[in-house]
Amino acid sequence: MSETNPEAAPTHPPISTGRPPELIALPNGVHLRRRSLADSERLNAATVGNLDHLRPWMEWAATAPTLAQTRELAVAGVTAWEDGTDFMYLAGLDEDPGSVVGAFGLHGRIGPGALEIGYWVSASHTGRRIATESAAALTEAALALPGITRVEIRCDEANHLSAAIPRRLGYRLDRTDDFTPTAPAETGRKLIWVKES
């Protein structure tokens, strides 16, 4: 799990003039699709149903979002995609196209020329390589965008499962930053993993 808040709206300038694919096929009957307003009910249910799983690492998981909040922020996510500031995805199963088994994002919050991948996968679907395959596909999509030369994945030093993903994908551990913990399991040491074009 790496800092994607399905309930967050971006607050930064456009990062690229291009846009990543809206639908990305993954192995093992899974896909990533651009998040839309139509996904609000299932995303809200998935988020609320996974709060205990997410709470140790995600500050925003301390309280359950209402359906109205999820809808409001879905609208903000559509605008962010169109504006080129953030690109929010949901992971779903091909056999159930509207399903939500995780949330992923390419976030422009780390500065010019770079996107950060954030992700979480539902507790009932961990261990199926969904996070790894999704992060690999999003890394490729990000580095194909005009002006993007760097992709980062950030996670707490104690979040070994999350840190295994960039390591598997050939990211380089660039540095470890100190920060003030905001979630119960965080240590205050953030790993910054980098992949460059």
Provide DSSP, 74-116. HHHHHHHHHHTSEEEEEEEETTBTT--SEEEEEE-TT-TTEEE
Cβ atoms 64, 48 nearer than 8 A: yes
Q: Is residue 2 part of a domain?
A: no
Q: Is residue 16 part of a domain?
A: no
Q: Is residue 1 part of a domain?
A: no
Cβ atoms 23, 134 nearer than 8 A: no
Task: Give the pLDDT score at 73.
Answer: 87
Q: Is residue 131 part of a domain?
A: yes
Q: CATH number, domain at 135? A: 3.40.630.30
Type of residue at 39: D
Q: Is residue 140 part of a domain?
A: yes
Q: Closest by alpha carbon to 43, among 10, 73, 85, 86?
A: 73
Domain count, the chain: 1
Task: Give the pLDDT score at 152.
Answer: 98
Q: Is residue 77 part of a domain?
A: yes
Q: Is residue 15 part of a domain?
A: no
Tens-of-pLDDT digits for all 197 residues of the chain?
Answer: 665 565 555 567 788 899 999 999 999 999 999 999 999 999 999 999 999 999 999 999 999 999 999 999 899 999 999 999 999 999 999 999 899 999 999 999 999 999 999 999 999 999 999 999 999 999 999 999 999 999 999 999 999 999 999 999 999 999 999 999 999 999 999 999 999 99
Q: Closest by alpha carbon to 105, among 2, 188, 1, 4?
A: 4
Q: Closest by alpha carbon to 104, among 186, 177, 22?
A: 22
Q: How far is CA 148 from CA 89, 90, 145, 183, in A?
A: 18, 22, 6, 30
Q: Is residue 11 part of a domain?
A: no
Task: Give the pLDDT score at 2.
Answer: 60
Task: Identify the domain containing residue 79 by its residue range.
Answer: 23-196
